[in-house]
A and B are shown apart, each in its own frame.
Chain A
Amino acid sequence: MSSDLQDLYQEVVLEHSKRPRNFRAVPDANRQAEGYNPLCGDQLSVTVHMEGDVIRDIGFQGQGCAISRASASLMTGAVKDRTLAEAVALFEQVHALVTEGPSAVDVESLGKLAVLSGVSEFPARVKCASLAWHTLRAALEGRSTSVSTE
């Protein structure tokens, strides 16, 4: 396998895509949004339970490729118990990581999310990696309309 493919489909990515974490609807959600990628038909929903300013619980459901599932799964782990502002800041970091590559961000601070760095070598797959994040942002901002990557 070529090295950029190895970077894209890292062990952690494959593992999260096969066994996604928090793959469920949060029962007492008070924020939620739908995300849709019209290019490929992928769709997912993100449900969040906020306590004040803090994301106490988060889940996602839907269908998508390995990259979008892994990104969504990793996202749920990364933003749980974070404040809204921290989650939005993380969104910006991940967006920079998948569009511009690891040199654009402080990779250390991203923890497990750093495995998404391989995406930047695959411009056609950036939308897969960012769908869950756009959806989360819409949920946090209380936008009820579904978000689209187009």
Chain B
Amino acid sequence: MSTPGFDVRRVRADFPILHQEVRGRPLVYLDSAATGQKPQAVIDALTRFYTHDNANVHRGVHILSERATQAYEDARESVRRFINARDAKEIVFMRGTTEAINLVASTYGRKHVGPGDEVLISAMEHHSNIVPWQMVCDAVGAKLRVIPVDDRGELRMDAVDALLTERTRILAVTHVSNALGTVNPVRELVRRAHAKNIPVLLDGAQAVTHLPVDVQDLGCDFYAFSGHKLFGPTGIGVLYGRLDVLEAMPPYQGGGDMILSVTMEKTVYNRVPHRFEAGTPDMAGAVGLAAAIHYLESVGMAAIAAHDQALLTYATQALSAVPGLSLVGTASEKTGVLSFTLADVHPHDVGTILDREGVCIRTGHHCAQPLMKRFGVAATARASLAFYNTPEDVDALVRGLHKVREVFQ
């Protein structure tokens, strides 16, 4: 297989971690849905920032603070461009997707969700898009409602309209499922929710790594994602919020940077996005994230998406030919995530044997226990693809699975 305008060998050369042997074999990394590997450009950007530009942002009059502030705000602009937000003020830097969703739940949620109200999520959410909403609902006496998932791992769109009621205060749903790879029809969901004046939060943690994302086109009110899955550093993430929505929200954490003035009697909060960024932010993380985004833009998200689809097709065929293997999640629109069970072998045993073959996959419930329950399994094995993966990586996985079958025959 080959994708026009995309050279996977050149891409791989940019990721130093991929060029090593583990357990006496070449490393095969198929766990990018857990975290992405980092191109040299990201590693260099972190080193450069700490070597030349490090100082606190928005505070000093000196040259280094100026440079650090510039780099941090430039990173915000890079994120804006990457997801095509209208205004850089709509980009709030967070620790990750989890913190971004918690921010919305505890500010927007606490303000707008009251007793008897409803929050609508889906059955394929990551725990990070379930638990913050449960906490809000428990605190105020609201009800968490759930869009069901069908046997292929697609949202039951026929159930959505009845679940969007006059008590629904927000719809929070994942763009792409971390456990199944399903790409949800989020534009349509936004359209239906907005028709009833219900705001929408999209969990984009697994989408931004595979697809071009345009928040204006999607029309969502909030979009959350993590830097580390997007081949950037850990500890940095993004909450996009439409400007008018963000401006009407109370602050999240209190502290420095989020204020305009403080007296012992009264504090005047800063403008967005700084109102939501209390304390010294992860400046180096933002710079590293911007470097990851620049790198992805140089490769091209369209080419990345095309490679992902071609490799997914290849991997789906290759895995389907392994006796006893059944894929969990066979939606018509998917990204490169292959969740599966292998006969009655427990996923942990699959993972351990693959690891000895140099193949890294994830096993377990993928922080989506309600979804596992829906499919009647306690756990699955999950191979997840990134744009640096090759058909040879998939072949190594298949060889490893045959080893598993040998051990457990």
Question: Which residues on A are within 8 Å of B, measured CB to CB?
Answer: 1-2, 4-5, 8-9, 14, 39-43, 63-67, 122, 124-125, 128
B352 sits at the interface (CB 8 A): yes
> Given A4-B356, A41-B372, A128 and B407 touching (CB < 8 A)?
no
**Distance (whole angstroms) from the CB of B179 to the closest CB of chain A:** 12
In the complex, residue of chain A having the shortest beta-carbon distance to the beta carbon of B373:
A41
Cβ-defined contact, B407 with A64, below 8 A: no
Mark contacts of B42-64 with chain A using CB atoms, 8 A cut-off: 1 yes-contact digit, 0 otherwise. 00000000000000000000000
Question: Which residues on B are within 8 Å of A, measured CB to CB?
Answer: 23, 345-349, 352-353, 356, 363-365, 369, 372, 378-379, 403, 406-408
Q: How far is the CA of A65 from the CA of B408 in the complex (A)?
A: 12
**Distance (whole angstroms) from the CB of A69 to the closest CB of chain B:** 8
Q: How far is the CA of A125 from the CA of B356 in the complex (A)?
A: 13
Q: Considering the complex of A and B, which 9 residue pairs feature the smallest CB-CB distances, nearest first? A: A65-B346, A65-B348, A41-B378, A41-B365, A40-B364, A66-B349, A65-B349, A5-B356, A41-B379
> Which B residues are CB-close (under 8 A) to A41?
364-365, 369, 372, 378-379
> Which B residues are CB-close (under 8 A) to A14?
407-408
**Distance (whole angstroms) from the CB of A2 to the closest CB of chain B:** 5
> Which B residues are CB-close (under 8 A) to A8?
352
**Distance (whole angstroms) from the CB of A91 to the closest CB of chain B:** 22
Q: How far is the CA of A66 from the CA of B364 in the complex (A)?
A: 14
In the complex, residue of chain B having the shortest beta-carbon distance to the beta carbon of A62:
B378
> Given A1-B403, A2-B23, A125 and B363 touching (CB < 8 A)?
no
**Distance (whole angstroms) from the CB of A68 to the closest CB of chain B:** 8
Q: Could you count the A-B residue pairs with CB atoms below 8 Å apart for me: how many are there?
A: 52
> Which A residues are CB-close (under 8 A) to B407?
1, 5, 9, 14
| B23, B348, B353 pick with most chain A CB within 10 angstroms | B348
Additional pairs, 17, CB under 8 Å, beyond known A40-B363, A41-B379: A1-B356, A1-B407, A5-B407, A8-B352, A40-B348, A40-B365, A40-B379, A41-B364, A42-B378, A42-B379, A64-B346, A65-B348, A65-B349, A67-B348, A67-B349, A122-B352, A125-B348
**Distance (whole angstroms) from the CB of B178 to the closest CB of chain A:** 15
Q: How far is the CA of A150 from the CA of B407 in the complex (A)?
A: 29
**Distance (whole angstroms) from the CB of B354 to the closest CB of chain A:** 11
**What are 13 of the A-B contact pairs (CB < 8 Å)?**
A1-B407, A2-B356, A4-B356, A5-B407, A14-B408, A41-B364, A41-B369, A41-B372, A42-B378, A63-B378, A64-B346, A65-B349, A66-B346
Cβ-defined contact, A1 with B406, below 8 A: yes
> Which B residues are CB-close (under 8 A) to A63?
378
Q: How far is the CA of A47 from the CA of B345 in the complex (A)?
A: 25
**Distance (whole angstroms) from the CB of B380 to the closest CB of chain A:** 10
**Distance (whole angstroms) from the CB of A19 to the closest CB of chain B:** 12
